[in-house]
Amino acid sequence: MDQFRDPSQPPYNQRYLTIEELEERLHRSGDPISVSKVLDAYEMAQSVHVNQVRNDGTPYFWHSARTARIVMDELHAFDTDLLISALLHDVLEDSPTITKGVLEYNFGSYVAYVVDMLTKDLAKAKADPDAVDIAHAERLRMASEDCLIIKLAARLDNMRCLTFNLKRNPIVYITNTLDRYVPIAEGTSNARLHYLATAIRSEANTFLG
């Protein structure tokens, strides 16, 4: 997707949402009362992912921040719980100390529910990743649409990073995304989910040529 990018800008996978950019967006379009709460989520996610590096060599946290940026900049969604959940969508998988109870205490029961629904059992995934992913997709089919919005926003970000060697088997990642997650979104009447599904299909077509 970066073949026609502005040469003055870094490649897509080297860009992310800074806390200053997040704060500016929230003051402009979000709920001013909840700014500090969203910034707290940003800092929690940054702390949880601080030592993680993705296969493309970039900090893992940048993915979480870009997922929130997609929600704001492309879906024009500024719901506080949705943004917090986008920032924190991987923390239960990646932290030995952050629990669903911790999320509920700090950010409320709905955020805790959304992040929990987005969390895979990584131990089981190592043994049988395909079965876990299929079960995860079916779980999201029954979840709130916010869960699916964040899932697809995260998948869209990953699709945009495939040209930077993010995934060891990008074809499998694309196929699983198109077969398991995109149809759920397309089966809803949610315009934001339809946008994400279309964007993911476009990225897949671009990558596959």
- The answer to whether the CB of 207 falls within 8 A of the CB of 12 is no
Nearest in space to 94 (alpha carbons), one of 132, 50, 126, 138: 50
Question: Residue 151 belongs to what H/E stretch?
Answer: helix 145-160
Residues annotated as part of the active site: 93-94
What average pLDDT does the structure give for the chain? Answer: 95
- The per-residue pLDDT for 5 is 53
* pLDDT exceeds 50 at position 1: no
pLDDT tens column, 88-141:
999 999 999 999 999 999 999 999 999 999 999 888 888 999 999 999 999 999
Is there a contact between 81 and 111 (Cβ–Cβ < 8 Å)?
yes
Residue 85 · residue 92 · CB < 8 Å: no
Distance CA 128, CA 106 (A): 33
Q: Say yes or no to pLDDT of 3 above 60.
A: no
pTM across the whole model: 0.95
Q: What is the enclosing helix (H) or strand (E) of 136?
A: helix 129-141
* Nearest CA among 148, 198, 202 for reference residue 1: 202
